[in-house]
Amino acid sequence: MLIFESLTMVCYVLIAFILLFASIEDIYHRTIGKWKVVLIFILVICINIMTDNFNPEATSMFLLVSGSFIGISLISFGGFGMGDALVIGALGWAMADFEALQGFLFAIGLISLIWAVFWVFWLFRKNGYSDFVKGIKQIQVLPVDKLRAGMVLAEDNFMHGLTLEDIDKIKDRGVKWIKIKQPLPFIPVIFVAYLFTIFF
């Protein structure tokens, strides 16, 4: 039906806007709000209902990615930063067929390579040769008041994302400054790959 086609396109466009704002947030804070991920899931479910797109391949992709990272989160006993993976799983679920899903994953791989090269050159230019390794590690000292849920402490080798409770405990200890990891922002890669897959 024409109305379903129009509503489906609205959902695709809304997802693009959410990914745009999530990309900006990821670049500035290296974390994304949970509500953005939840909204993407809701919109993907709406798309699948309107297009009757519950094919086994895309659904398997979603369940595999989501289940794997939720399992890792439970095993690691912490707020594992899995927003990127959950977004990829949800968007993969929304692809119309397996060929589109393959194209989406290929676009992510290609854009990831370009994005990584860009960041290496940017860090090299910013820090110079002597501090290049330090720049790649992306350790930043922040005032405790600027901590956000999902950020990762510098000494945490298991990438536990901080929860609001963790941040409150740190503040209660009287800590003023803290070192955090600044991993490569990945949501912008997903955003561009999504645009190429859906709209081109």
CA 127 to chain CA centroid, nearest Å: 26
Tokens describing residue 158: 């298991």
The pTM is what? 0.72
Return the pLDDT at 115. 87
pLDDT in tens, 28-73: 877 787 788 889 988 988 888 787 766 666 566 666 656 655 555 5
Tokens describing residue 52: 């009757």
CA 104 to chain CA centroid, nearest Å: 15
Q: Does position 174 have pLDDT exceeding 50, yes or no?
A: yes
Residue 181 DSSP SS3: strand
Q: Does position 192 have pLDDT exceeding 90, yes or no?
A: yes
CA distance 81 to 30: 10
pLDDT in tens, 92-136: 777 766 677 788 888 888 998 898 888 778 777 766 655 555 555
98 class by beta-carbon count within 10 Å (0-12 exposed, 13-18 middle, 19+ buried)? middle
CA distance 162 to 117: 28
Which one, of 133, 123, 94, lies nearest residue 8 by Cα? 94
